[in-house]
Amino acid sequence: MQIRLSRDIGSAAFIAIACAFANTAILVPANAAVEPRALVAPVADYKIYVTGKVRELVTDTRAFTDAVKAGDVAKAKALFAPTRTSYEAIEPIAELFSDLDAAIDSRADDHEQAEKDSGFTGFHRIEYGLFEQNSTAGLAPYADKLMADVLELQKRIASLTFPPDKVVGGAAVLMEEVAATKISGEEDRYSHTDLWDFQANFDGSRKIFELFRPLLGTDDRAFVEKVEANFATVDKILAKYKTADGFQTYDKLTDADRKVLSAAVNTLAEDLSTLRGKLGLG
């Protein structure tokens, strides 16, 4: 357990004990604007949330990769988008492990030979085979590697020290990534299941805000109301595209639809980018 906290021995002792009971650890900047002990509960609760999402990811990835290895194209296609949502919701933490993030979630553009590159692995390599080639041929090794990488991610997160600045900053990061790159549809370019990812990013961002919102002062009431209204706006837009079994494919959205979504996400991201500073963590 690593704790770098206040000069107050009582506070340090309190946090050490609380972290032990929460089975987590935190690194608190010395200049934190909130009481160090106030960060313990939301960080611990966020680790519980992430741990649960990783558990779901492991279970869902096993079912997905089993379908791929069994040659069941239809089932594998149906499981692709929902399997990814747990990963997308916790991306700020998953991305702390750059080697695993590259193996699990890189895109063809990240590799010199694109889809033909041997280093292109993970969800999107399998997505390419399933949706672009409509086949599971040759995908078994990628499925095995994906499963192994997800299990390794679970192992690393279990022992991870959660830095509060990274956690709080993650609320904005999730929305900024959608606005900056994902809104174009380049992430799930073969399956067009981008809206599943957007919803998961949105849910992960909102979870962080909800956990740390109580730490904001009464003078931040207008900020809280504004952010909550912006979350409601994005949620309402995404709800328009929901179907009985998930979401419409992203290629069905018009340029105008995408601009409306992009504007709402950008507004939300801009506000959330100030959250870390308001808590004295950035």
Q: How far apart are CA 265 and CA 275, in angstroms?
A: 16
Tell me the pLDDT of the chain averaged across its residues: 90
* H helix runs in the chain, sequence order: 9-22, 36-69, 73-89, 91-94, 98-105, 123-127, 140-158, 164-180, 194-212, 221-239, 255-272, 275-278
The tens digit of pLDDT for each residue in 105-128 reads 999 999 999 999 999 999 999 999
Asked if residue 166 has pLDDT above 80, the reply is yes
Q: How far apart are CA 214 and CA 199, in angstroms?
A: 24
Q: How far apart are CA 216 and CA 33, in angstroms?
A: 10
Asked if residue 31 has pLDDT above 50, the reply is no
Helix axes 194-212, 255-272, angle to 10 degrees: 20
What's the confidence (pLDDT) of residue 219? 87
> Which residue in 47, 69, 62, 60 sits closest to 148, CA to CA?
62
pLDDT > 90 fraction of the chain, expressed in percent and rounded: 83
Asked if residue 66 has pLDDT above 90, the reply is yes
The tens digit of pLDDT for each residue in 145-156 reads 999 999 999 999
Asked if residue 11 has pLDDT above 60, the reply is no
| Contact in structure between 15 and 26 (CB atoms under 8 Å) | yes
The CB-side HSE value for 116 (13 A sphere, CA atoms) comes to 2
| Contact in structure between 112 and 58 (CB atoms under 8 Å) | no
| Contact in structure between 121 and 106 (CB atoms under 8 Å) | yes
| Contact in structure between 183 and 276 (CB atoms under 8 Å) | no
Q: How far apart are CA 137 and CA 78, in angstroms?
A: 17
What's the confidence (pLDDT) of residue 47? 97
The tens digit of pLDDT for each residue in 181-193 reads 899 999 999 999 9
| Contact in structure between 132 and 116 (CB atoms under 8 Å) | no
Q: Which of 12-21, 119-128, 135-144, 160-169 has the lowest mean pLDDT?
A: 12-21
| Mean pLDDT (whole number) for 220-239 | 97
Q: Using 50, 70 and 90 to split pLDDT, how confident is the model at 1?
A: very low
The tens digit of pLDDT for each residue in 34-54 reads 777 899 999 999 999 999 999
Asked if residue 69 has pLDDT above 50, the reply is yes
Q: Using 50, 70 and 90 to split pLDDT, how confident is the model at 207?
A: very high
| Mean pLDDT (whole number) for 152-165 | 96
Q: How big is the chain by its Cα radius of gyration, in Å?
A: 20
Q: Against a cut of 0.95, is the pTM above it?
A: no
The CB-side HSE value for 81 (13 A sphere, CA atoms) comes to 23
Q: How far apart are CA 205 and CA 227, in angstroms?
A: 11
> What residues does 247 pair with on adjacent strands?
242
